[in-house]
């Protein structure tokens, strides 16, 4: 009887771990690809004035655990650190350093907001990505 109980417990634990891994894989696959920013919280400047030339983008490569994109002026890239719906942008990223006359303030807002993000959600239809600080939406992107 003891062996049957142990076998049952081990089976339940193995199944639970497998289900968690499948949920994380699905969560990561929802991030994959290119997204374009359409909302950012904080500045009291109209979105189109923050990014007059180009809207920021973010691209997730989940197979290589990389993130890259454009902040409205310069390109950036770094490591992708995701676990479930928790995401971490606190690791240093590399970025180009070209001078931007238009949109420089938008670049600063974007790059200073990213490290604050600690969670994300993807809409059920997979077309909207929201970056959150705890439960507060800070950035919103559309799938490209």
CB 56 within 8 A of CB 110: yes
What pTM, to 2 d.p., does this model score? 0.81
Dump pLDDT digits (tens) for 62-100: 999 999 999 999 999 999 999 999 999 999 999 999 988
Residue 98 sits at φ, ψ, to 5 deg, of -75, 150
- Entry field: residues in the chain: 144
Dump pLDDT digits (tens) for 100-117: 887 789 999 999 999 999
> In what order do the strands lie in the sheet containing 119-122?
81-83, 86-88, 119-122, 128-133, 136-143, 33-40, 57-61, 66-70, 75-79, 94-95
- The Cβ of residue 119 has, within 10 Å, a number of other Cβ atoms equal to 17
Domain annotation for the chain: domains and CATH numbers: 2-143 (2.40.128.270)
């Amino acid at each position: 009887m003891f062996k049957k109980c142990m076998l049952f417990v081990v089976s339940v634990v193995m199944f639970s771990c497998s289900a968690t891994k499948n949920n994380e894989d699905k969560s990561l696959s929802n991030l994959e690809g290119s997204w374009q920013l359409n909302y950012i919280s904080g500045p009291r400047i109209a979105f189109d004035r923050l990014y007059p030339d180009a809207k920021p983008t973010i691209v997730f490569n989940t197979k290589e655990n990389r993130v890259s994109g454009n902040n409205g002026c310069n390109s950036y890239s770094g490591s992708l650190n995701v676990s479930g719906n928790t995401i971490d942008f606190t690791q240093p990223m590399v970025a180009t350093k070209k001078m931007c006359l238009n949109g420089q303030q938008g670049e600063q807002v974007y790059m200073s907001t990213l490290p604050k993000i600690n969670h994300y959600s993807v809409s059920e239809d997979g077309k909207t990505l929201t970056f959150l600080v705890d439960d507060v939406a800070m950035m919103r992107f559309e799938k490209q």
